[in-house]
Structure 1
Amino acid sequence: MKWNRRQFVQSAALATAAVATGTRGWAAAKPAAAKVTYVDCHTHIYDPTRPQGVPWPPREEGRLYRPVLPAHLRKVSAKHRVTGTIIVEASEWLADNDWVLEQAAKDKFILGVVGRLALEDPEFEPQLRRLSRNPLFRGIRVRGGASPKAAEKTAERALGLLADFNLTLDFNCLPTQLPVAAQVARQNPRLRIVINHLANVTIDGKAPPAAWVDAMKAVAEHERVFLKVSGLVEGTRRDDFRAPRELDYYRPVLDAATEIFGVNRLIFGSNYPVSELFAPYATVIGLIEQYFGEKGPQTLQLVAAENSRRAYLWQERK
């Protein structure tokens, strides 16, 4: 399917994001916050120059259709005390789980990999067993129309296996799909679930919709559900692809997310390189640093790295 730029931004499967330049619009970090280190828990890598190409991004999206490898992330994050990353799948191809794990084996900056397996696939169990032998494999993600259908026996079995293997389920959903996440959490109390991109709520400088708030509250009742504070600049869905850089524009959504989940279940993720369609990496991490830094360095450190350790059970690599 060919996507034009507008369709790409509005896609439910992958929220979009960023390249403008500068860090104007967010204040300098407080001295105490300057010691906080980050683990970026939502980045993608891929290489369209491989012989087989890539299923995503589409060739028409020229600013994304280029090799994006760990070295590129290292370069843009080097000035921001980012000590590691969790790579999240960007391909439905089974073999690409192995390709990403191969890249991870070469670079200790990668602390974990969230892969892609179809819950309804008859080969789900043997593939999960195989992939989980790699300690860097930390779970799988389901996206958009591939949302987990808790009523299906095959999906129920797959979700139970994820919990058995102590792995994590990332769920990239629309606000209307949050009840699915609540249902999965209720039926699988041992399973850790990470909602991606603030459930792709539209960010317009105003209070988030009441339906999003109510659905988030229902999900947050389950203590093993985490919320990834990612997709901020993409969530603006600006026609000019220039996301606001002022924190106050994002504050209503950040306030609601923090009130609902508390500071112990929020996780930082940039969504690089997608985020760069709307704003540079410095802006994305700067919004996180300013907002949570206002609440003190301990809170900032929780969101910047420590909460993600509990969600993904990542370990430093030596």
Structure 2
Amino acid sequence: MSLIDAHQHFWSLATPGHTWPTASEAAIYRDFGPHDLRTAGAGVALDGTVLVHSQPTDRDTDWILALASRTPLVRAVVGWVDLLQPDAPARIASLARHPKLRGLRPMLQAIADPDWLLQDALTPAFEAMQAAGLRLDALVQPRHLPMLARFAARWPDLPIVLDHAAKPAAAQMALDPWRDDIAALGGLGLFCKLSGLRTEQATGAPATALMP
């Protein structure tokens, strides 16, 4: 069985437009690139990774695609496009020519309007994603899940990958209505990444607390 890390990042603190990680996240506030990935994966029978953008910029997406081209361990890339821009469909079509691009991820968790994804102005971008065979990575929080169910029903042919299980309030163990909302999404054929759940827990909480 192949072992794939479905969600990892590269970043360079000196890159213009860099916003994450910040100095307050001291444990990861340093550059992280292919060498660090190989070091972190030493001793693990890792067959590949999915490299996800860390900054909501075209520059970051171009940079990680270039890194992916010369990093065999990176099997796929999830990038970023400003989906509201008039040239978004052309940008999507251009990026999709890269053999490792598999999806795009708008930074929904940072957008105040939980229904942002439903606006008609995004239709050309989603049509371009479908035409290119791309997936939508949904970086969301529990407040977005009812909207995401409506979005999935509206776009049944656009595969959706839920990042970090929608970041439930695991530190407070306040898991309702998240439980019911995420179960409803399962019936709509969405995929779900569990990566990142541990960072939502309280400091020192055991991983077993996340068990169903």
TM-score, normalised on structure 2?
A: 0.90
- Give 5+ residue unaligned stretches, structure 2: none
Q: How much has 1:218 moved relative to structure 2?
A: 2.2
Aligned pairs, how many?
209
> Does the CA-based 8 Å contact 1:132-1:165 persist in structure 2?
yes
Contact 2:53 2:80 in 1 (8 A): yes
Residue 194 in structure 1 maps to residue 161 in structure 2 = yes
1:162 and 2:129 correspond = yes
- Bigger Rg over Cα: 1
Gaps of 5+ in 1: 1-35, 256-318
Alignment of 1:196-211 (within 5 A): 196-204=163-171, 209-211=175-177
Please tell me whether residue 101 in structure 1 is matched to residue 65 in structure 2: yes
Cα separation, 2, equivalents of 1:197 and 1:151: 21
Structure 1 residue aligned with 2:106, among 134, 138, 142?
A: 142
Deviation at 1:56, TM superposition (A): 2.0
Q: Per the alignment, in what secondary structure is the counterpart of residue 163 of structure 1?
A: helix
What's the CA shift for 1:203?
2.2
The SS at the match of 2:50 is strand
Q: Secondary structure at the match of 1:82?
A: coil
Provide TM-score, normalisation by structure 1: 0.61
1:172 paired residue number: 139
**In the alignment, which of 36, 43, 60 is matched to residue 79 of structure 1?**
43
CA-to-aligned-CA distance 1:258-287 (integer Å, 9 cap, x gap):
xxxxxxxxxxxxxxxxxxxxxxxxxxxxxx
Name the structure 2 match of 1:215: 181
Distance 2:62 2:115 in 1: 23
The answer as to whether partners of 2:168 and 2:200 remain within 8 angstroms in 1 is yes
Identity of aligned residues (%): 27
- Would the aligned equivalents of 1:149 and 1:155 in 2 still touch at CA under 8 Å? no
Quick one: which amino acid aligns to residue 192 of structure 2? Answer: L
Question: Matches of 1:106 and 1:175 in 2, distance apart?
Answer: 37
For 1:200 and 1:219, locate their aligned partners in 2 and report how far apart those are by CA, in whole Å: 15
Deviation at 1:145, TM superposition (A): 3.1
Question: CA shift at 1:53, angstroms?
Answer: 6.5
Q: Taking structure 1 as reference, are residues 243 and 44 closer, same or farther at Cα in structure 2, changes over 3 Å only?
A: farther
User: C-alpha deviations, 1:18-61, integer Å up to 9, x for none?
Assistant: xxxxxxxxxxxxxxxxxx441001100011245x3723222443
Cα pair 1:148 1:155 within 8 Å, conserved: no
| 1:82, distance to aligned residue in structure 2 (A) | 1.2
